[in-house]
Amino acid sequence: MVREKKRLVFVGGGHAHLYSLKHAHRFPPLGVETTLIAPSRHHYYSGMGPGMLSGTYEPEQIRFDVKALIESGGGDFVKGKVDSIDPEKRMLILESGERIDYDFVSFNVGSRVVLEGISGAKDFAFAVKPIENLENIRKAVLDTMRKGAPKICVIGGGPAGVELAGNIWRLVQENQGRADIAVVNSGDRLLPAFHQRARRLARKSLTKRGIRILDNFRVQSIDRKAVVSRSDTRLDCDVAVLATGVVPPTIFARSGLRTSEDGALLVSAYLQSVEYPEIFGGGDCITVEGHPFRRIGVYAVRQAPILFQNLLSYRTARPVKPFRSRRNYGLIMNMGDGRGIYAGKYLVWSGRLAFRLKHRIDTRFMSQFRLP
């Protein structure tokens, strides 16, 4: 008996979809046509983003060719962004107005930096997401260095802000320049979600290189020459980098799907929408009902093989598998000086070995998804 053809659409080529894209050849024998919709043929690996900013890695070293991946498995690539979803008609509406039908669909559209709460942020600051924005930050730093010693403000005291400040320092050093670099932290502690030893090591690493850390500085506005706090403290700034918290895109809430409080697609442990079992998702754009995870890349990577197996099972009517994962993973931060900080729940250590370990893990991950 010949099976009726079904269409599986992947929306976004992020970490949670890479495993499925690599194994896309498994779908056609099941009577499934695959399509990937993404804004670019390349997806950048966030774990190596700060290294690209500093020049440790070239852009082509930290990106995947998702167009080539899907096409090598017999699928189609559509360049574009999905603007809304009609779950009743099983239809995706793109920003271009194009409409694409699906029988089942999976979303991995990442997250975005919140700009709305800071006046002038959209016009005068660089958000760290999408990761390819780091190339624009690199260019802006180098351009301002040609005019003198720029004042660079990294807004955000989490791991992204810490890594970016350290790697901007390296970028300046590698180009024989000078710069006044400041980390603008809204709270009273750097890396507030981490072990206190990790906080101490990060602060020491930055301050010994002359990077200032401004605690309790809640940014209210940004203009062409300064960052202004809610208490009207004005900090001179030539390049403002936003590395604050991230939130999911608004597509799911705007489409009327059930979401978590922050707008993420609400899914079951099987990575399926709690309303529509034909809608799957992974990474930063979802929240697992009853088990919210931090929005860091390791969860997307861990979800990837489960998501792939469940997509196969949905077509073959086999039982789907739940995603089970630890709540705490160790994170290695690239500090930009050839050293790293490993920050686990209980174990924290730093040094050149930590960076070499991170480099090995990252490059091994990248190699899994490169075509021969």
Question: What pLDDT shows up at residue 327?
Answer: 64
- In angstroms, the CA 71 to CA 10 distance is 13
Please tell me if the domain spanning 6-111+248-316 has the same topology as the one spanning 114-245.
yes
Sign, Cα dihedral of 291, 82, 90, 18: negative
Angle at 54 between CA 136 and CA 235, to 5 degrees: 65
Q: Residue 291: which pLDDT band, with cuts at 50, 70 and 90?
A: confident
Q: Where are the domains of the chain?
A: 6-111+248-316, 114-245
> Of all helices (H) and strands (E), which one includes residue 351?
strand 348-351
- E strand segments, 204-319: 212-214, 219-222, 226-229, 234-236, 239-242, 246-247, 265-267, 279-281, 286-288
CATH of 6-111+248-316, one of 2.70.170.10, 3.90.105.10, 3.50.50.60, 3.40.718.10: 3.50.50.60
- In angstroms, the CA 252 to CA 258 distance is 7
Q: Residue 3: which pLDDT band, with cuts at 50, 70 and 90?
A: low
pLDDT of 328 above 80: no
CA contacts within 13 A on the Cβ side of 228 = 15
Sequence-distant (6+) residues with CB within 8 A of 330 are 342, 343, 344, 345, 347
- E strand segments, 211-275: 212-214, 219-222, 226-229, 234-236, 239-242, 246-247, 265-267
Specify whether the CB–CB gap between 180 and 168 falls below 8 A.
Answer: no
Angle at 268 between CA 264 and CA 273, to 5 degrees: 60
Q: What is the pTM of this model?
A: 0.94
Question: What pLDDT shows up at residue 330?
Answer: 86
pLDDT tens digits for 154-211?
Answer: 999 999 999 999 999 999 999 999 999 999 999 999 999 899 999 999 999 999 999 9
- In angstroms, the CA 243 to CA 236 distance is 18
Specify whether the CB–CB gap between 193 and 327 falls below 8 A.
Answer: no
Q: Residue 2: which pLDDT band, with cuts at 50, 70 and 90?
A: very low
Question: What pLDDT shows up at residue 211?
Answer: 98
Instruction: Identify the three-state secondary structure at position 190.
Output: coil
pLDDT of 1 above 60: no
Among 90, 81, 91, 72, which Cα is nearest to 18's?
Answer: 72
At the topology level, CATH places domain 114-245 in FAD/NAD(P)-binding domain (3.50.50)
Please list, residue by residue across 164-177, b when 16 or more beta carbons sit within 10 angstroms of its beta carbon and e when fewer do.
bbbbbbbbbeeeeb
